[in-house]
């Protein structure tokens, strides 16, 4: 007959005490209003079920903080990544091809509307007139417009 000590429970390969410590550390990273919310809604760091529920709720809050810090471009990329989970590889490939075609057409139309009449040459030589404080192995170049 196995005793209670022989049966070790784990949550995401962490023991009870390790999950408690993670909760304590991560809880201090939360905004004060979220810490108060956890306390008001009886999320406790004692007892397996409570510890696991608290861990998951703290993860949710921290995940929301990550989303709040994203720029608009990063949000669009994240939304695209999430949307692609529900598409097949063939659908993604077709979408990317049609998007590429549209982007090329828009680029060609912009070139027609606003032709670039200036020629630009890039001088990659090491002898530039402007002296910068060069870091080791850093290359400099200048552009010349005609």
State pLDDT tens for residues 86-132.
Answer: 889 999 899 899 999 999 999 999 988 888 777 777 777 766 565 55
Q: Are 35 and 50 contained in the same domain?
A: yes
Q: Are 30 and 63 contained in the same domain?
A: yes
Coil vs helix vs strand at 144: strand
Determine the pLDDT at residue 146: 61
Length of the chain: 146
Radius of gyration (Cα) for the chain, nearest Å?
A: 28
Mean pLDDT of 46-65: 92
Across the chain, mean pLDDT equals 84
Q: Are 82 and 108 contained in the same domain?
A: yes
Pick the last residue of a domain from 5, 36, 68.
68
Coil vs helix vs strand at 143: strand
C-beta atoms surrounding 22 within 10 Å: 19
Determine the pLDDT at residue 138: 63
Q: Are 54 and 37 contained in the same domain?
A: yes
Residue 60 sits in which domain range? Answer: 16-68
Q: Are 76 and 102 contained in the same domain?
A: yes
How far is residue 45's CA from residue 54's CA, in Å, rounded to a whole number? Answer: 7
C-beta atoms surrounding 111 within 10 Å: 10
Whether the pLDDT of residue 24 is over 50: the answer is yes
pLDDT band at 1 (very low <50, low <70, confident <90, very high): very low
Mean pLDDT of 53-61: 94
Determine the pLDDT at residue 127: 64
For residue 124, is it within any domain?
no
pLDDT band at 59 (very low <50, low <70, confident <90, very high): very high
Could you tell me if 58 and 30 are in contact, meaning their C-beta atoms sit under 8 angstroms apart? yes
Please report, for residues 80, 98, 102, 108, the alpha-carbon distance to residue 95 in angstroms, rounded to integers and kept in the order given: 12, 5, 11, 20
C-beta atoms surrounding 48 within 10 Å: 11
For residue 48, is it within any domain?
yes
The number of folded domains in the chain is 2
Q: Are 24 and 36 contained in the same domain?
A: yes
Mean pLDDT of 63-78: 84
Coil vs helix vs strand at 37: helix
| Residue 143 CB partners (closer than 8 Å, separation 6+) | 120, 121, 122, 123
Determine the pLDDT at residue 131: 57
For residue 146, is it within any domain?
no
Q: Are 20 and 64 contained in the same domain?
A: yes
Could you tell me if 72 and 80 are in contact, meaning their C-beta atoms sit under 8 angstroms apart? no
Whether the pLDDT of residue 137 is over 70: the answer is no
Q: Are 61 and 92 contained in the same domain?
A: no
């Amino acid at each position: 007959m196995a005793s209670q000590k022989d049966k070790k429970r784990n949550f995401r390969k962490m023991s009870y005490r390790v999950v408690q410590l993670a909760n304590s550390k991560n809880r201090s990273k939360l905004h004060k209003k979220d810490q108060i919310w956890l306390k008001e809604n009886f999320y406790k760091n004692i007892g397996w079920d409570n510890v696991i529920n608290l861990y998951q709720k703290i993860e949710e809050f921290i995940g929301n903080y990550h989303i709040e810090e994203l720029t608009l471009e990063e949000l669009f990329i994240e939304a695209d990544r999430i949307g692609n989970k529900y598409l097949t590889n063939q659908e993604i490939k077709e979408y990317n091809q049609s998007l590429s075609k549209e982007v090329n057409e828009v680029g060609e139309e912009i070139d027609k509307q606003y032709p670039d009449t200036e020629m630009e040459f890039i001088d990659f030589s090491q002898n530039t007139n402007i002296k910068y404080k060069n870091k080791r192995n850093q290359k400099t170049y200048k552009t010349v417009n005609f």
